[in-house]
Amino acid sequence: MVIRRLTLDRLGPGILSAALVCAIALPALAAESGPGKVGRTRLPNGLTVLVRENPVAPVVAVSLQLKMGTRWETRANAGISNLLQLMVVRGTTTLNGSQIVEAADRMGGSIEAIGDADFSEISATALSRHWVEILDLVADVALHPSMPEGTFKAVRDFLLRQIRNRGDKPYDVAVDTLAARIYGSHPYAWDPIGLKESLEKVEREALLAHYRRHYVPGGMVLAVSGRVKSAEVVAQAQRLFGSMPPAPPPASEVTPPPAPADSREALKVPGAQAQIVMGALAPALTAEDYPAVKVLSAILGGGMAGRFFSDLR
């Protein structure tokens, strides 16, 4: 499987930020099991199950990832993936948001969901003896979200406040400006939180359509690590997700942005410190020059040890 990815390393003040045009080739994992090995199984409907057995781990970790994120968005619905992820953990057809949190807490763990640039995820942890129950909870959140209208409006308003707050933070303003200059019309030009003008117009019906489009087994990977047996995890995955009808994930029809022209921009934002960020499109992860560029980025902008920081200080 090949995931084409454009990322922006959002590093700290005074650090070189490299925008990467990446092609990540994920190796095909053998369908094997045993301590320390990762077993891979594809269910009949296309959902992929990864299991890493760790017989001494006191905690089990569950991650359900899917092909949904900024890369599949447009300016008209920017931020809808992150909004959807915040909604799925706020209620199912049988549990409200508080009950979901309390259920994970009783298992000695937690559950959360995020939407990012290249993927979205529901992640959870629990004591190993509760691995079946936490898997049930993840499946319930993923497959039976209720998305009540009142909660939808509250979460959307929360995100709009966060977007407004970004405009008051010098570092966020600098990084957002850099991303817009580097990526242009590409979806990576905006933060996964989205854009004010798009989130204000997103309705619950659009959120449900986005859910149906992306929560399909062909674009989902379930990963489980801990004191578990691969065969048992696969059996539970089939029980929970096997009834989903086969469907492929939507295509991400975006092209890499052209290299931007050299530019420099100074913005006035109230704050105690000035923020300096720099960036450029960099080689793909598979390119011969990528390791050298990564090392160069660390030398020049590697935090307080970077040469840019030392020179400015």
Burial class from Cβ neighbours inside 10 Å (0-12, 13-18, 19+) for residue 134 reads: buried
Give the dihedral of Cα atoms 73, 75, 78, 81; nearest 10 deg: -20
Query: What integer pLDDT is reported at residue 22 of this predicted model?
Result: 34
Structural domains of the chain in order of their starting residue, each with its CATH number: 30-256 (3.30.830.10)
Can you give the pLDDT at residue 36?
Answer: 75
Mark 184-223 as b/e (b = at least 16 C-beta within 10 Å): eebbbbbbbbbbbebbeebeeeebeebbeebbbbbbbbbb
pLDDT score of 208 more than 80: yes
**What pTM did the predictor assign?**
0.83
Tens digit of pLDDT for each residue in 244-278? 999 999 988 777 777 778 888 888 888 888 888 88
* All residues at 6 or more sequence positions from 47 whose CB lies less than 8 Å from its CB, including other chains: 217, 218, 220, 221, 222, 237, 241, 244
Between strands 220-226 and 59-66, the pairing is antiparallel
Write down the pLDDT at residue 34.
Answer: 61
Q: Judge whether residue 178 has pLDDT over 60.
A: yes
Average pLDDT of the chain is: 88
Residue 18: pLDDT band with limits 50, 70, 90:
very low
Q: How would you list the strands of the sheet with 281-282, edge to edge? A: 2-8, 19-25, 281-282
Is 158 strand, coil or helix? helix
| Three-class HEC string of 88-109 | HCCEECCCEHHHHHHHHHHCCC
Place of tokens 């029809």: 253
Q: What percent of the chain has pLDDT over 90?
A: 69
Contacts of 57 (CB under 8 A, 6+ apart): 128, 225, 226, 227
Question: Is 75 in contact with 195 (CB distance < 8 Å)?
Answer: yes
Model pLDDT for residues 49-101, shown as the tens digit of each residue: 999 999 999 999 999 999 999 999 999 999 999 999 999 999 999 999 999 99
Strands (E), 172-261: 220-226
For residue 29, give both structure tokens. Answer: 């994992």
pLDDT band at 21 (very low <50, low <70, confident <90, very high): very low
Q: Which segments within 143-191 are labelled E, that is strand?
A: none
Please state, in angstroms and as integers, the Cα–Cα distance from residue 46 to each residue in 43, 144, 221, 237, following that order: 5, 19, 9, 12
pLDDT value of position 161: 97
